[in-house]
Amino acid sequence: MTATRPLAVIILAAGQGTRMKSAKHKVLHPVAGRPMLLHLLASVAELRPERQVVVVGAGREQVEAAVAGTGAVIAVQEQQQGTGHAVAQAHDALAGFAGDILILYGDVPLVRAETMRAMLDRLNMGDELRAVVLGFRPEDAGAYGRIITNGQGIIGKMVEYKDADAAERAVTLCNSGLMAVRSTDLFVLLDQIGNHNAAGEYYLPDIVMLPGAQSAVIETEAWEVAGVNSRQEQAMIEAAWQDRRRSEVMRDGVTLIAPETVFFAYDTQLGRDVLVEPNVVFGPGVKVADNAVIRAFSHLEGANIGQGAEIGPYARLRPGANIGAKAKVGNFVEIKKAELNEGAKVNHLSYIGDATIGAGANIGAGTITCNYDGFFKYRTEIGAGAFIGSNSALVAPVKIGAGAIVGAGSVVTREVEAESLCLVRPAQEGKPGWAARFRAGMQTRKAAK
């Protein structure tokens, strides 16, 4: 990056979002498990801006809550009078700032920090540019505004589709709306634009066409500047993000058996030689160490998976699940806020919540930790090498000592000492011939009806 001037960022988020048909603000709808606006702010943070301003209209309270702690401040556009008018609302928040200003959109979440840097670099190449506009060439230019250049990246004209003639609409270079401008120019230029256009609005791109210095365009790929105005477009952005993430993890040494069926969150971390089988969903907060195996139809969120561990198939790991090296969580097992130490096994049809499972312990099929009494949560502690028989209920708070064995079907309510056997079941009683007599009697009753 060559640009070293102070940086401020204006993010426009004042659109009504009516096509989303939602009480949630449009820019807070998620992509890969994170609100779109926070995707954008995370990329912005890499540039270490001095100031960040989010311009909102309706839904201010939602946006303020979402950006708390990010360093962004809120400016309000009370009336929707176009993008130029929206940017002008950031004037007071940027009072006294001297440097470069990036203008971004809260519903265009996938813009990379590298692209923002490229815009700033071009602005500061020394040829006294007024602005740098980010352009793209979509497969279908549709109703995007067009950019006409001199062939050397200098803009000759920018025109909204509604105001363009046939020749201008035939141009394939489109305006993303993203722009880099010097602080000394931006608000002076905004004061000079009018609203004499088909929509009667103040268009931000009009500052480029005011008499005076030249402006330039740099290009990026269409996916990076795709915006969200509807649920359908949100799904398209999600699909594009997932496709790229799948490619990234495979390049980094992860095997995806059926890539198109695996879904990642924005912060999923996978080590090398991890194997992910089909139909796996990673929610936020998942870290998977080298050589782990995530089998089909598993759902993970807020979980840490140790080296060489095996998860699933059909496993669910909820927040606070910490799975140690070479541990095993099998089919139809749910783990929540629990630690499985190295080599521990929970193979079948079990629920382990608010618990610590010692190294090498084995939890039999159908075992549950009874961790909630309707008011409070309690912990279960199972020592290293312990064996819990199938269909056992461990009523927390309770401790099972290292090496202890709990017989199948036990309901454990008190501490089990290390290396001891715990059996909680009635004595087995046998009645010879009873089954044959029972069947004969029932058949006679049935025949009598």
Give catalytic residues, as residue numbers.
348
Within 198-281, where are the H helices? Answer: 231-251
CA distances from residue 96 to 51, 100, 153 in whole angstroms, order as listed: 11, 13, 32
Residue 108 sits at the vertex; the CA angle it makes with 106 and 113, to the nearest 5 degrees, is 95
C-alpha 200, offset from chain centre = 38
Residue 392 sits at the vertex; the CA angle it makes with 391 and 396, to the nearest 5 degrees, is 145
DSSP secondary structure of 312-361: -SS-EE-TTEEE-TT-EEEET-EEEEEEE-TT-EEEES-EEEEEEE-TT-
DSSP secondary structure of 367-384: -EEE-B-SS-B--EEE-T
Q: Which two tokens stand for residue 108?
A: 């265009």
Q: Which two tokens stand for residue 336?
A: 């929540």
Within 107-219, where are the H helices? Answer: 113-123, 166-169, 183-190
Give the residue from 266, 253, 302, 301 showing the smallest Cα distance to 280: 301
Measured distance CA(327)–CA(304) in Å, rounded: 12
Bridge partners of 74, per DSSP, are 54
Residue with tokens 């097992």: 333
Sign of CA pseudo-dihedral 77, 82, 85, 86: positive
Phi, psi (rounded to 5 degrees) for 431: -125, 95
The CA-to-CA distance between both ends of the chain, in Å, stands at 92
Measured distance CA(52)–CA(449) in Å, rounded: 84
